[in-house]
Structure 1
């Protein structure tokens, strides 16, 4: 029986197209034409006997089968690259694949990556971001930075940061808020992915709960964009949200209205003892860096 294992070139093209969700962007990365990428993906689909992409007029998205196939392809390509470099010569760069919730990556991790790269020039960090468990299920990673219950993501985990909640808005909006009760006269922007929100703040501050006007967002970065347009008051989630709050021109409304959140950030991996050397270096650096951030 003929093997169904496809061409390595086809797999490389599939991985690039799936990661970028674009034949054109994959073509640019691989120094191919978009037509060549499309042809090689079609050849792979013909070999496997199943479609891997849904093709639109200007974009492509993975089918369920394509989404299930991608993590194994990425892991296999990474292991093959590592094995080749290990056998045939010292690698110029060691890859480490990190997935992070968007707010932590934007507000905490991005500020330190430059120092890490300067200290470890032979380690190449590939960082992907998302907001939910589903975002982390579609590709291979050495380490994940998650928010909430780390047991949903991996066996081994290290605590990183908690969060402090307090209301922020445009300065002209904050001028209308003299007491915590005044918050109930404004539209409150709620981030759906967080368990600790406005009701938690009102409960901890022992404020009566009237009917609240709530505007929902899927991330704190989106909530900050909405607050910057004067659409309402959002909850800052320090320290991870510090950068986006400042960039959006938002200020604290009630300096004394601060409460601790019920959840935090964690660094997760399937097996800490089995981490590749580059991932072990990154983990050690991240734990030290986050300790400095928390102390600051």
Structure 2
């Protein structure tokens, strides 16, 4: 069985007292009372079974055992200080955790992120992807961008982008709309059937099913058919001429993307203002 080490505070008290040759000075340095430093050093001496200091009227003097121990404690504390310094440097930056729908990360955040990092070079951004509402409860994020109904999003959330679903296809995909294959994102109450009703057209079944709007858009870009997605997801691919409207009709969605700030830090507010400015807010 491995030996149980004395508490780190005992070593800190010993090192400070040995360097200052005073329990009082050591106490002021490490933020403890003089009696606490004295007691911790005494506890260390009892654990080691040796005296580390000669207590004199004019102060302290190291014993031979104390002189033997001090360099090793100095080295150990320096190693711990160095090991934690890197983390302290990281904390000097402004960390920001954003939990968002994977579709938003892929099609809204990623294409524009260089603009945000250029404006806020000190922000260390951590992106956590989620698809379904329950996945957001598993992370403690500063900013959340959820997909769902207004009720699911909560009263503190704001609509990100628009609530319009549009039909899109690759410019390379030729043919009349009525004969092009349809791509549908499952798990929502919206789809091609209500879109066809709104457009005054006959409904037809989709030929390809995916789990969310992000992959539906990706499939359409690669010429696999026509996708029905929120129009703000397609801003960047449309600017790159990867996708184009397949039909002029649109559908007001029941489920949308909603943004909420969970911790109103400067970085979180800056991220909110940036992304809302990029895609607009309802």
Identify the TM-score tier after normalising by the shorter chain: 0.5 to 0.7
3-state SS of paired residue (1:253): strand
3-state SS of paired residue (1:258): strand
User: Which residue number in structure 1 is paired with residue 205 of structure 2?
Assistant: 212
In the TM superposition, residue 164 of structure 1 has moved relative to its aligned partner by 3.2
User: Which residue number in structure 1 is paired with residue 11 of structure 2?
Assistant: none
3-state SS of paired residue (1:257): strand
User: Which residue number in structure 2 is paired with residue 224 of structure 1?
Assistant: 217
* Aligned equivalents of 2:215, 2:235: Cα separation in 1: 14
* Aligned equivalents of 2:170, 2:123: Cα separation in 1: 41
What are the residue-to-residue correspondences of 1:8-157 with 2, within 5 Å? 91-152=91-152, 156-157=156-157
The answer (yes or no) to whether the contact 2:111–2:236 under 8 Å persists in 1 is: no
**Given the two structures, how large is their TM-score scaled by the length of structure 2?**
0.57
User: Which residue number in structure 1 is paired with residue 184 of structure 2?
Assistant: 190
The answer (yes or no) to whether the contact 1:159–1:264 under 8 Å persists in 2 is: yes
1:65-105 deviations in Å (ceiling 9; x for gaps)? xxxxxxxxxxxxxxxx9xx96xxx99530111001112222
In the TM superposition, residue 218 of structure 1 has moved relative to its aligned partner by 0.9
In the TM superposition, residue 228 of structure 1 has moved relative to its aligned partner by 4.8
Q: Using a 3 Å threshold, how does the CA distance of structure 1 residues 170 and 266 change in structure 2: closer, same or farther? A: closer
The answer (yes or no) to whether the contact 2:158–2:258 under 8 Å persists in 1 is: yes
Q: Using a 3 Å threshold, how does the CA distance of structure 1 residues 149 and 224 change in structure 2: closer, same or farther? A: closer
Of 247, 268, 272, the residue aligned with 1:283 is: 272
* Aligned equivalents of 2:271, 2:206: Cα separation in 1: 43
**Given the two structures, how large is their TM-score scaled by the length of structure 1?**
0.55
In the TM superposition, residue 233 of structure 1 has moved relative to its aligned partner by 2.3
User: Which residue number in structure 1 is paired with residue 37 of structure 2?
Assistant: none
* Aligned equivalents of 1:112, 1:129: Cα separation in 2: 17
The answer (yes or no) to whether the contact 1:224–1:248 under 8 Å persists in 2 is: no
3-state SS of paired residue (2:126): strand
Of 211, 222, 235, the residue aligned with 2:228 is: 235
* Aligned equivalents of 2:267, 2:250: Cα separation in 1: 38
In the TM superposition, residue 226 of structure 1 has moved relative to its aligned partner by 3.3
State how many pairs are aligned.
Answer: 197
Unaligned runs of 5+ in 2: 1-83
The yes-or-no answer on 1:199 pairing with 2:199 is: no
Q: CA RMSD in A?
A: 3.3
The answer (yes or no) to whether the contact 1:147–1:263 under 8 Å persists in 2 is: yes
In the TM superposition, residue 190 of structure 1 has moved relative to its aligned partner by 0.6
